[in-house]
Amino acid sequence: MRCALFDLDNTLLAGDSDLLWAELLAEHDAIELERIRAFHADYHAGTLDIEAFFRVQLAPLASEPRARLERWRTEFLERCLRPLLTPAARALVERHRQRGDVLAIVTATNRFIAEPAARELGIAHLLATEPRERDGRFTGEVEGEPCYRAGKVRHVDAWLRSRGLTRGVDVETWFYSDSHNDLPLLEAVDHPCAVDPCPRLRAHALRAGWPLLSLASERTRFATGT
């Protein structure tokens, strides 16, 4: 079996859904935007406290009525997500689909935010950070381990085991990502690919001989060392 795994933010999306969601919530006075921006600076620096981030980011899910959250999420899809799904990103997904590969998004972004993008792309499998729910309401906590850094590898392996499969034995894997934070999963798959990579990932990819790919533009461009 072949399996194509995709990071979401700044990979399939030409932008960051976590930050865009926070900007929308800030318009509704539901979150402190500067705190989220500070967390994102830490993410890019490789110093993010992921538990502290989710305590802040998931708090509005727990404090706002579910109907209001759903309205905001619909607005989020139309205003923010659809414009950032470039033709090149859609074409890459479709190429893997036409080959018969199993497709999955693997993202640290929480499921409530990431689900609309997965549906828009027709990707049935979404491995994401899970917001805990009790009696139909979010609690503001994470269920299990965040799907972040080495946690992505564990999420992928658990998902494959649930299908009776083992990475590296039954499955040939691809993974596309923009971030050095995803190096654990990039190094664990058969075919890593750096997509519009951050400087640290670009340098690593060039040393390792990984393909470089751009999805942010209208056309897909491959490079091997330029």
- Please list the active-site residues: 7, 9
Q: How far is it, in rounded angstroms, from Cα 113 to Cα 117?
A: 8
- The CA distance from 104 to 173, in Å, is 11
Angle (nearest 5°) at CA 200 between 111 and 222: 80
Environment class of 169 (CB within 10 Å of its CB; exposed 0-12, middle 13-18, buried 19+): exposed
**Helix (H), strand (E), coil (C) string for 71-114:** HHHHHHHHHHHHHHECHHHHHHHHHHHHCCCEEEEEEEEEHHHH
* CB neighbour class for 220 (10 Å; exposed up to 12, middle 13-18, buried from 19): middle
Provide the pairing of β-strand 125-134 with 102-110: parallel
